[in-house]
Amino acid sequence: MAGDCSTATYSLSDMAADTAGLIEALGFSRVHLIGASMGGMIAQTVAIEHPEKVKSLVSMMSSTGDRSVGQTDFSMFSAIGAPPQDDRDAFIEWQVRALRMLGTDRYPVNESAARERAGLSWDRDHDPNGLLRQSMAVLKSGDRTPSLKKLRLPTLVIHGNADRMIHCSGGKATAAAIPGAELLLIEGMGHGFPDAIANMLAKRIAHFIYQVESAVS
């Protein structure tokens, strides 16, 4: 946090390069790229560093890397403590508690689905240091605002105004930085994809992509 990121294993640029490599390996030339939270930061970085591969960008509940916006409300973590690293069941329940805090009264988390995803995540590759490495990658990568201002591609920014993990100022700053970007601010939405508005989000993104494709054709 003080600025010494020399021990960071990788950066957002490394993950953006992985994404660009995957696009190529799948046989696509250019794609409509959607990223949420840290994935939004990676998607932004792909658009900045590999613009030839991106048709449009959807950045969801994310930020620019400028620490004056998109701040995390760390007080919520004090209520749940550190994640258990040696007990699968305890980790799953910790994850559900964390997601419950990231949701809102208006759009609560689907706890049964959250438990299932947490279990799959643990079984796939549980790494106690993974969260720290991801956080270091974000810190190492710095502020993307100057580079975002140079982007020239259709962009939709989506954020909930009740997001405690990444304050909605991060979404607003993203939309303000990218020329012509559209901002969709959702009342009462926290940091996640609540079932109640999942279809609305999917339809809104599909409509955005349809508009982009129509403009090209």
Q: For 14-46, what is each residue's pLDDT tens digit? A: 999 999 999 999 999 999 999 999 999 999 999
Average pLDDT, the chain: 93
First to last CA, the chain: 46
CATH 3.40.50.1820 residue ranges in the chain? 12-72+141-216
Whether the predicted pLDDT of 2 surpasses 80: no
pLDDT of 9 reads 86
Residues of the chain above pLDDT 90, percent: 79
For residues 122-146, average pLDDT: 88
Identify the weakest region by mean pLDDT among 4-8, 139-143, 144-148, 202-206.
4-8
pLDDT of residue 1: 61
Kindly report the number of other CB atoms within 10 A of residue 192's CB atom.
22
State the average pLDDT over residues 107-131: 91
pLDDT (tens digit, 9 = 90+) per residue, 56-114? 999 999 999 999 999 999 888 787 888 888 899 999 999 999 999 999 999 999 999 99
One-letter amino acid for residue 110 of the chain: N
Note the pTM of the prediction, 2 decimals.
0.93
Please report where in the chains the tokens 């794609």 appear, as a residue: 31
Amino acid 129: pLDDT: 84
pLDDT average, residue stretch 112-120: 95
What is the predicted pLDDT for the residue at 13? 95
Q: What is the DSSP letter of 152?
A: -
Q: What pLDDT was estimated at residue 4?
A: 76
Please provide the DSSP assignment of 78-97 as one string.
HTT-SPPSS-HHHHHHHHHH
Measure the CA–CA gap between 17 and 148, rounded to whole angstroms. Answer: 17
Superfamily of domain 12-72+141-216: Alpha/Beta hydrolase fold, catalytic domain (3.40.50.1820)
Query: Which residues, other chains included, contact 210 with Cβ-Cβ below 8 Å and sequence gap of 6+?
Result: none
Average pLDDT over residues 119-129: 89
Length of the chain: 217
Decide if 17 contacts 197 (C-beta within 8 A): no
